[in-house]
């Protein structure tokens, strides 16, 4: 009991100094951002929505040769969502293949391919303009070199596998990584 009181008192004293201002000491700090859903005004706090859950994170583009992967990504989402996997797509024009406007990108995702997993408005995923989420993913396992790069992230925010565009969503190696994350 005394230890608990001392710990609480020490924490209270350190908080004003900013010792814990960055949030919990975990591997999820890179999710401390709110982003806008694709073709929507709705903002989503990434830590609140995805913190502590296994993730499949993909950078996407509407006019890429790999855009057909949306169909298999949606199948993965449907297969694993009840087991806790969150499939998360981040539209990006870093490789100059995203639609000119979000309405068109949304049409491709939601209408053409029936995507029901979370998709976010375009952000930078590589280089100096990379969003902090993708900076951390790149730090852990390398930056995407093209659209439809896939990151499998465990519940603690650690990338346990990373796959280039050519690896299909229904490949055995990607499914094995998802199973490890679950």
**Residues with a known catalytic role:** 64
Strands of the sheet with 118-120, listed across from one edge: 118-120, 86-91, 55-60, 150-153, 159-163
Closest by CA position to 80, among listed 117, 134, 113 = 117
The C-alpha atoms of residue 53 and residue 72 are separated, in whole angstroms, by 21
User: How far from the centroid of its chain's Cα atoms is residue 162's Cα?
Assistant: 12
């Amino acid at each position: 009991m005394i230890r608990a009181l001392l710990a609480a008192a020490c924490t209270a004293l350190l908080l004003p100094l900013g010792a814990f201002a960055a949030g919990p000491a975990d591997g999820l700090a890179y999710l401390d951002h709110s982003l806008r859903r694709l073709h929507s005004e709705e903002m989503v706090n990434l830590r609140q929505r995805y913190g502590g859950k296994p993730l499949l994170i993909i950078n996407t583009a509407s006019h890429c040769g790999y855009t057909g992967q949306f169909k298999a990504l949606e199948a993965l989402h449907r297969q694993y969502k009840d087991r806790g996997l969150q499939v998360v797509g981040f539209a990006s024009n870093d490789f100059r293949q995203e639609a000119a406007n979000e309405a068109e990108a949304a049409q491709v995702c939601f209408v053409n391919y029936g995507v029901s997993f979370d998709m976010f408005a375009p952000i930078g995923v590589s280089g100096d303009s990379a969003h902090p989420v993708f900076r951390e993913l790149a730090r852990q396992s390398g930056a995407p070199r093209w659209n439809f790069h896939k990151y499998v992230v465990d519940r603690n925010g650690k990338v346990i596998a990373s796959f280039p565009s050519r690896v299909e969503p229904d490949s055995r190696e990607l499914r094995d990584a998802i199973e490890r994350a679950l």
